[in-house]
Amino acid sequence: MKQFNPKTILVTGGAGFIGYHLIRALLDGGTDAKIVALDNLNDYYDPALKTERLRLLEAAAGRSSATFTFIKGDLADADLIRSVFAESRPQIVVNLAAQAGVRYSITNPDAYIQSNLIGFYNILEACRHAQSLEHLVFASSSSVYGSNEKVPYSEEDQVDNPVSLYAATKKSGELLAHSYAKLYGIPSTGLRFFTVYGPLGRPDMAYFGFTNKMVAGESIKIFNHGDLYRDFTYVDDIVRGVLSVMASPAKPNAQGVPYEIYNIGNNHPESLMDFISILENCLMQEGIITAPAKKEYLPMQPGDVYQTYADTSKLERDFGFKPATPLSEGLARFAAWYRSYYLEKENPRQ
């Protein structure tokens, strides 16, 4: 990762799932970069997990040639964002901070407006005035494809019909970034993530929630009666893709705008029922559960989509991106971490 020497990299959402794994890869990768992480440590899910990620990052920083600084703060605080940029002078900004979750957006819309729109606007404004900036990389989502029936989803597809507020804020973020790239020449790359999973993941994600229910002996809720497909992507594969993109600022496209959008996923949708079966097997192999889960089959949820399926040919063409982690391997790693973190607290994963 010498390509990041001696750059300053600002990662928002640095205590989040993908943010943690990205920063960990940088700290473990032999770079001399200065890494600044920003996160508000909110309680959308258990803040103790975010604190654990930060603990692991601090430990990794102690063994790294890179430097690591954590700042607790909110994207919606414009004064804070300006001061962070003024003090750190980042060359690369990776905006992963966002209010996540499709269903939560139905009942808590304000959180999405504050973080995903106002917060991202504050990042764009800071980038606009940052003389040091070389590249803005920002998280979008497969949710922008809404209920598109054409598969696999391509970056060329129309994404004008979101089925959730979360998706609408993510599409809005893409439009805001494009306008700033065009008006102010900010090299900007958006990444549409597809169902990321793995150790130290988000408890609101289905695989994590299923595991918690199984451990408690409760039934798991399976929507659309199990007839759902997701392009599950292991977090280490995601991080490899993000690192490749970070190192190559967007160049002017055919319209002269330094802006690109990429799908980043597994390019292989899995049946939800197959996913659950593999998860059950991994959890039983780790001794976390002793029998398959009790299952409750329900209709489709509001805001949900039938399937996600990424066409990643553009990312493969430009960066050689190719996911390499089979679902069975990724879920086995998650199960091993879950056992060590929740069932063997005295020996947390390093």
Write out the H or E segment, with its range, that includes residue 221. Answer: strand 220-223
CA–CA gap between residue 302 and residue 299 (Å, rounded): 10
What the block records as the tokens of 346 is: 């005295």
**How far is 69 from 7, CA to CA, in rounded Å?**
14
Rounded CA gap, 4 and 153, in Å?
32
Catalytic residue, candidates 104, 166, 180, 234: 166
Q: Where are the alpha helices (DSSP H) in 225-326?
A: 235-246, 272-285, 313-319
Judging by DSSP bridges, how do beta strands 220-223 and 295-298 pair with one another? Answer: parallel
Take residue 192 and report the two structure tokens written for it: 């549409």
* Rg from Cα positions in the chain: 20
Judge whether 6 and 51 are in contact, CB under 8 Å. Answer: no
Task: Judge whether 166 counts as a catalytic residue.
Answer: yes
Helix (H, G, I), strand (E, B) or coil at 155: coil
DSSP for 171-185 reads HHHHHHHHHHHHHH-
At 216, list the tokens: 């408690």
DSSP conformation letters of 117-184 = IIIHHHHHHHHHH-TT--EEEEEEEGGGGTT--SSSB-TTS-----SSHHHHHHHHHHHHHHHHHHHH
Catalytic residues: 166
